[in-house]
Amino acid sequence: MGHHSGSARERIIDAAERVVIEFGAGHLTFDAVALKAGLSRGGLLYHFPDKEALLKAMLDRLMERMKMRRAKKRAELAEGTEREIVAHVLSSLEKPEEVDKAARARTAAILASGAHDPGLLAPAKEEYRKLMDELTENGLRFERAAVIAIATDGLRLLELLSVSPFDKDERRRIVGELISLAKEEKKAP
């Protein structure tokens, strides 16, 4: 099925994510993407016949990569109740946002799709439900898992919207608190 990596499709999706990050979800146009990807509108439209196709591809790759990153992180962690949720937090927030362009890029697809057609986000909702199931699989209490998950994704969204007021050190402490909250659950009565 898949083509060689570094394919035109991949390069175009990369470009689209960068457009959203630099100019905002409302400025994801074929023109801007073509410019960033280094090809013409026509060439771009050969790969993605319309905007919906591009957004769906962005979302699909986003979800795929998030799962991969989480799996990779989980493999580095010791077993335990909190293993899944810690993998989720760290795979999303481990690196400071200025550095982790990939993480910002991931969230970009969500905002761009929401701006264009909220209906496109239905699959993302299903994925989020599955994520919650996995997070609680090892016995972690649902409420605690949910709070940590929405805090993690909330911080990502706030950062992408440039509303997050936290500096690097504060952010590091917040991530630490999220991890603590996950581990605390083990010792609960």
Partner DNA sequence: GTCTATATCAAGATAGAC
Partner DNA sequence: GTCTATCTTGATATAGAC
Site residues (vs DNA, CB under 7 A): 8, 27-32, 34, 39-47, 49-52
Alpha helices in the chain (DSSP H): 8-23, 30-37, 41-47, 51-76, 83-93, 101-116, 122-136, 142-160, 168-187
Q: Of residues 1, 3, 50, 162, which one binds its own copies by CB under 8 A?
A: 162
Residues 50-109 that bind its own copies (CB under 8 A): none
Q: Does 153 bind its own copies (CB under 8 A)?
A: yes
How far is Cα 187 from Cα 189, in angstroms, rounded to an integer?
6
Q: Which is nearer to its own copies, 12 or 93 (CB)?
A: 93
What's the maximum distance between 2 C-alpha atoms anywhere in the chain?
Answer: 63
CA 163 to chain CA centroid, Å, is 17
Q: Which does 25 bind (CB under 5 to 8 A by kind): its own copies, DNA, none?
A: its own copies
Report yes or no: 108 and 25 within 8 Å, Cβ to Cβ.
Answer: yes
Q: Does 189 bind its own copies (CB under 8 A)?
A: no
- CB atoms inside a 10 Å sphere around CB 123: 13
- CB atoms inside a 10 Å sphere around CB 21: 16
* 15-34 footprint of its own copies as x/- string (CB under 8 A): --------xxxx--------
Q: Which is nearer to its own copies, 46 or 170 (CB)?
A: 170
Shortest separation between residue 89's beta carbon and its own copies, angstroms: 11
DSSP-assigned letters across all residues of 98-115: TT-HHHHHHHHHHHHHHH
CA 80 to chain CA centroid, Å, is 24
Q: Which does 178 bind (CB under 5 to 8 A by kind): its own copies, DNA, none?
A: its own copies
Q: Does 166 bind its own copies (CB under 8 A)?
A: yes
Shortest separation between residue 1's beta carbon and DNA, angstroms: 13
Applying CB under 8 A, the residues found at the interface with its own copies are 23-26, 110-111, 114-118, 121-122, 124-126, 128-129, 132, 142-144, 146-148, 150-155, 157-158, 160-166, 170, 173-174, 176-178, 181
